[in-house]
């Protein structure tokens, strides 16, 4: 088992399943799960000054500037380090070489798990994604259906199709993601573990865990 602090990054385009996988592994290994998407959505929902700034970028399918992102991440990593934790998983961060360089000043990183997958698979998967507006639980109308209609199993609230889950926005995000993220694979070459995300949830989970522990 794990006897040291694990500082991990999960990389992969939106829809690669890295959030689901990262979350599950974090729970199992008692790591802090730091999801950039969750942090940003929380800021947007609270309509903070930062949140309003962030939502302008997100809704047009653009990336939020590095300076903003790094501020948010440093806060989370500091909190994780000061609590009774066994490490953390960063999800959805870093996305650019600039962010990776900024992160280097905040913390070291032990391993990077990259979930590699096909663009068409992602477009199909993400277009079918629905989110609970109340608890943020994520469903998928193809692979992970709610028990009843389009209602959240936990809250009974009608699920939403997020603006950034629409096909044109997804394709735009994928393009931006690939252009800005591919240099990261070189940056983290010595810590990098590439996993084929099209293998299916259980196989990806097993491979990711093997790579980590």
Beta-carbon contacts of residue 95 (< 8 Å; ≥ 6 apart) = 63, 69, 177, 180, 181, 184
CA pair distance 109, 107, nearest whole angstrom: 7
**Contact between 135 and Zn ion (CB under 5 A)?**
yes
Report the nearest approach of Zn ion to the CB of residue 132 (Å): 3
Report the nearest approach of Zn ion to the CB of residue 191 (Å): 35
Report the nearest approach of Zn ion to the CB of residue 159 (Å): 8
**Contact between 71 and Zn ion (CB under 5 A)?**
no
**Contact between 9 and Zn ion (CB under 5 A)?**
no
Among 28, 46, 59, 154, binds Zn ion (CB under 5 A): 154
Tokens of 113: 């798990």
Cα separation values, 204 from 25, 64, 67, 153, 195, Å: 11, 29, 32, 25, 7
**Contact between 132 and Zn ion (CB under 5 A)?**
yes
Report the nearest approach of Zn ion to the CB of residue 131 (Å): 9
Stretch of 7-15, 19-27, 132-140, 197-205 lying at the interface with Zn ion (CB under 5 A): 132-140
**Contact between 162 and Zn ion (CB under 5 A)?**
no
CA pair distance 54, 45, nearest whole angstrom: 11
CA pair distance 45, 57, nearest whole angstrom: 14
Is the Cα dihedral 159, 161, 40, 177 positive or negative? positive
Closer residue to Zn ion, CB minimum distance, 128 or 157: 157
Q: Which residues bind Zn ion (CB under 5 A)?
A: 132, 134-135, 137, 152, 154-155
């Amino acid at each position: 088992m794990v006897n040291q602090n694990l500082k991990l990054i999960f990389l992969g385009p939106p829809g690669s399943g890295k959030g689901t996988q990262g979350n599950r592994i974090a729970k199992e290994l008692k790591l802090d799960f730091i999801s950039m998407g969750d942090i940003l959505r929380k800021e947007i929902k609270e309509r903070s000054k930062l949140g309003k700034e962030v939502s302008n970028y997100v809704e047009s399918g653009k990336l939020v500037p590095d300076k903003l992102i790094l501020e948010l991440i440093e806060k989370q990593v500091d909190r994780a380090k000061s609590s009774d934790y066994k490490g953390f998983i960063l999800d959805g961060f870093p996305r650019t070489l600039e962010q990776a360089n900024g992160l280097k000043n905040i913390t070291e990183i032990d391993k990077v798990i990259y979930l590699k997958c096909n663009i068409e698979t992602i477009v199909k998967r993400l277009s079918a994604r629905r989110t609970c507006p109340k608890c943020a639980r994520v469903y998928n109308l193809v692979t992970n259906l709610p028990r009843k209609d389009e209602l959240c199993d936990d809250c009974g609230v009608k699920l939403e199709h997020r603006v950034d889950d629409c096909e044109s926005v997804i394709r735009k995000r994928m393009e931006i993601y690939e252009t800005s993220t591919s240099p990261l694979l070189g940056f983290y070459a010595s810590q990098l573990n590439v996993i084929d995300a099209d293998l299916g949830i259980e196989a990806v989970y097993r491979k990711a865990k093997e790579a980590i522990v």
